[in-house]
Amino acid sequence: MAAQSPAAPRLPVNFSTRVDEVSSRARLARFIRVVVVIAVAIIMLIPVTWMTLTAFKSRPDAVAVPPKIFFQPTLEGFVSLLTDRRQLTTEQIAEEQKRTDLTWIDQLALSRGQVITGPSDYPQRLLNSIIVAGVSTVFSVGLGLLSAYSFSRFSIAGAGDLLFFILSTRMLPPVVVTIPLFLMYRALGIYDTHFGLILLYTVFNLSFSVWLLKGFIDEIPREYEEAALVDGYTRLQAFRKIVLPQSLTGIAATTVFCLIFAWNEYAFALMLSADRARTAPPSIPSVLGTGGIESAAIAAGSLGFLIPVVIVTFALRKYLLRGVTFGAIRQ
Amino acid sequence: MSNVTLQQITKRFRQVTALEDVSFSVNHGEFFVLLGPTGAGKTTTLRIIAGLEKQDAGSVLFDGTPVDGLMPADRDIAFVFQQYSLYPTMTVYDNLAFPLRSPLRKMPEAEIKERVTRAADILRISHLLDRKTARLSGGEMQRVSIGRAIVREPRIYLMDEPLSNLDAKLRESLRVELQHIQKTQSSTILFVTHDQIEALTMSDRIGVLREGRIVQVGTPNDIYDRPADTFVAQLVGSPRINLLPARRDNGTVLVQDSPLHLPAPKTTHAQFLVGIRPEDVKPVPDGAFSGTVALTEPLGVETIVHIRAGGQTLLSIVPGLTDLRIGDEVRYSVAPERLHYFDPEGMRITSS
Ligand SMILES: Nc1ncnc2c1ncn2[C@@H]1O[C@H](COP(=O)(O)OP(=O)(O)O)[C@@H](O)[C@H]1O
Ligand SMILES: [Mg+2]
C-alpha cells in the first residue's frame, strides 16, 4: 500500500538528473566558461610566473634576448639579494679558488668574481615590513571595529558629520602631505621608527576600516544582541559572543585590504624611514646598486615580498568566500 | 498580585508618539494578550518592559517595585522577538543553552543539558539539536526561539507576534502548545499580536492598543460582548461586526437606508451607530425583516450570507451550508438583546 504511494521513498538515484549536467548546451556553456577562466588566469599569472622564473636565472639568462623560458636554474639571485659582496681582482680570484673551506654560497659568489662580506639588509627590511604592516593592520581593524560598532548601534550626536570627517582624511593625495609629515616626524623624534610608520598607516587605514566594517555590522540585526542582553549578557559580552563571530567576514576583508595597503606603501616609507625602520618596498629597487641591474636579485626580492601577503589572504579565504554568500541567505 | 505593571508610560521617537499614557498590569500566572494593528506600539511596549528602550515618562513596576534603572540582563525576563533572533553561527543546542550560559547564572553544564533536553522535548525539536539554525524551516526556527525562552523560568515571557510568520496549520498547533505550556507551568506571558483569533483563543485577558493608547482591557468575553468603542468592535470578530448609522424615533431606532427598526437604548442620544454581530442576524422563515441575498461565502462549518436590505448590506453567519442562492428573498431576525450602541464618536453607550 505504502510502496505504491508516490511519496514513498524510492531507490536512490545514482545518476544526476540536474538539467545543467545532462543538457548538451549546458555542458558546452560550462566548457566555455572553464576555458575562459583558465585563459584569464594564465594572463593574470604571466607577470608573477615571469618574476618567479627570473629569480632563478643567472645574470646572462635574465637579460638574454630573446627571453629564455628554459634555462639552468641557479640561486645566484637569492645569494645577491641576501648578501653584501665585494668585487675581486683576477689574482684574488685565483687565490680564493685554491681555498677548500668555501661553502656552496661562497663558490656561487666566486663564480661571478665576488666575495661575500656579510649578510644584506634585506631580511631586516622584510622583518620591518612585517612588523609595520602587521601591527598597523591589527590596530586599524581593531579600532575600526569598535568605532564602526558604535556608529552602527548607538545614536551619536553628529554621526553623519563625524563619518564624513573620518572619510575626508583620505581625500588629500599622500604626496601632498609627505613633506610636512617628514618635518613633523623629525621634530617629534619619530622619524625612521617603527612607531612612526605604524602610527601613520593606522591613521590612514582607519577611515577605510571604519566605513567598511560599519557596512558589515549594519547588516547584523540588532535583535541578535538585544536577545543576548535580555538573556543575561552585558553589551561587551554580547559583542564578543554575537557580533564578533558574525562579522568575521567583514573583519577578514578589511584585514586583507589594510594589510595590502600597509605592505605595499612606498612613498611614505621612502620619506619617513632611512635605515632602522625602512620597509621592503623602498629597499628592493636599491638592490639595483652594485655593478649593473641585478634582475635576478630584484625578482627574488619581489618574490619574497609577495609571499607573506599571499599566505595571509590564503589563510583568510574561507571567511572572504563566505562573505559573498552571507547576504544572499539572510531573509 | 500583579507581576508587571505599566504606569502612564509615554514614549516618543522624535515627532512620532509611539505610546501615550499607557497603563495596565499583568498578573502572576496570567496569559495577557496585547492586541492592536501594526504600528500601534506593541513592540515598543515590550521593549520598554525589557529595558531595551527607555520611556520618556511613566514607570515599569515588577511586583510593585520600579525597575526603570535596571539593565535588561537584570530584569529576569525572556523575550521572543518578532524576527527570528537565533544565532546562525551556533547549533540549535547552543542557541537553547545560550541564556543558561550567561555569566549571571553560573549554571553547571549538567543542569543546562537537562533543561535544554526538557525544553526540546516539550517543543518536539529534540531531533534538531545538532543542526545549525540557518537551514531550519520557519516553524522550526520559531520553536527554537520559544525554546530559548522556556529553558529559563523568568518572571515573565514577552512574546512579540511569535506565530505571525507561520502558515495557518503550524500557527494553530503552536498556539495550542503555548497555551498548554503556560497552563502546566503556570507561567506569566505577555503576548503581542495583531490577530484577533489568537487574542481571543489564548488569553486570560486582552489589552487593546490603538495608536499608542490602551482603549480597553478585559477578558475575551468583555472585549467581544462589550467592546468599548467601534474600533474594538471591528477589531475582534470575524466576519466583522455590522456597523450601521441610525437615529432615534421615540422608542425605536431607525437604521438609515434600511427597513431595520430596533429597540432604542435608554439614553438621550439622537444619533447612533448600531453594531450587530453577524451571528445575531438569523435568516428564519418568520423573521421580522426582509432582504435579498447578495452573496454567499460557504466556509464549510458555516456560511457567510450577505443580505441586502435597502441601502445597507448585513452580514449574517449561518451554521453549515445553506440553500440560499444569490438573488433569493430572505426573511431574517435580529437578536434585540445582543445589540451594541455607540455614540457618533464611536464610544459605547451603556443602556441601563
Ligand atoms: N526605533 C524607532 N524609531 C522611530 N520610530 C519608531 C521606532 N520604533 C517604533 N517606531 C514607531 O513607533 C510606532 C509603534 O511602533 P511599534 O511598537 O513597532 O508598533 P507595532 O509593534 O505595534 O507594530 C510606529 O509608528 C513606529 O513607526
Ligand atoms: Mg511589532
Q: Give the single-character DSSP code of B132.
A: B
Residue A292 has a pLDDT of 67
Closest CA to A109 of A79, A146, A148: A79
This prediction's pTM: 0.80
For A229-253, the pLDDT digits (tens) are 999 999 999 999 999 988 998 999 9
Instruction: Kindly report the protein residue whose alpha carbon is nearest to atom 24 of ligand 1.
Output: B39
Q: Does B105 touch chain A (CB under 8 A)?
A: yes
A288 lies in some domain: yes
Using CB atoms, pick whichever of A224, A233, A245 lies closest to residue B102.
A233
Helix (H, G, I), strand (E, B) or coil at A330: coil
Tell me the domains of chain B and their CATH numbers: 4-235 (3.40.50.300), 242-351 (2.40.50.140)
A129 lies in some domain: yes
Chain A CB contacts of B52 below 8 Å: 226, 229-230
Residue A288 has a pLDDT of 56
Residue A175 has a pLDDT of 81
A254 lies in some domain: yes
Please state the atom number of ligand 1 nearest to the C-alpha of residue B14: 4
Torsion on CA atoms A12, A18, A23, A29, rounded to nearest 10: -140
Of the ranges A51-60, A184-193, B134-143, B319-328, which one carries the lowest mean pLDDT score?
A: B134-143
Q: Does B66 touch chain A (CB under 8 A)?
A: no
* pLDDT above 50: residue A280: yes
A88 lies in some domain: no
A223 contacts B85? CB cut-off 8 A:
yes
A15 lies in some domain: no
Tell me the nearest-neighbour CA distance from B85 into chain A, angstroms.
5
**What CATH number is attached to the domain comprising A157?**
1.10.3720.10
Q: How confident is the model at residue A173 (pLDDT cuts 50, 70, 90)?
A: confident
Residue A287 has a pLDDT of 63
A47 lies in some domain: no
Residue A203: C-alpha distances to residues A3, A140, A291 (Å): 70, 7, 40
B71 contacts A232? CB cut-off 8 A:
no
Which residues of chain B register pLDDT less than 70? 1, 84, 351-352
Instruction: Kindly report the protein residue whose alpha carbon is nearest to atom 17 of ligand 1.
Output: B41
Of the ranges A82-91, A183-192, B122-131, B231-240, which one carries the lowest mean pLDDT score?
A: A82-91
* pLDDT above 70: residue A20: no
A135 lies in some domain: yes
Residue A255 in grid coordinates: 584585514
* pLDDT above 70: residue A19: no
CA of B36 to the centre of ligand 1 (A): 13
For B178-230, the pLDDT digits (tens) are 999 899 989 999 999 999 999 999 999 999 999 999 999 999 999 999 999 99
**Which residues' Cβ are closer than 6 Å to ligand 1?**
B 13, 16, 18, 36, 38-44
* pLDDT above 70: residue A15: no
A132 lies in some domain: yes
Tell me the nearest-neighbour CA distance from A200 into chain B, angstroms.
36
The arithmetic mean of pLDDT across residues A249-275, rounded, is 92
CA of B211 to the centre of ligand 1 (A): 10
Q: How many domains does chain A have?
A: 1
* pLDDT above 80: residue A330: no
Is the CA virtual torsion B327, B332, B334, B335 positive or negative?
Answer: negative
What string of DSSP letters covers B22-82?
Answer: EEEEEETT-EEEEE--TTSSHHHHHHHHHTSS--SEEEEEETTEE-TT--GGGG-EEEE-S
For A141-154, the pLDDT digits (tens) are 999 999 999 999 99
Domain interval for residue A313: 122-319
Residue A16 has a pLDDT of 66
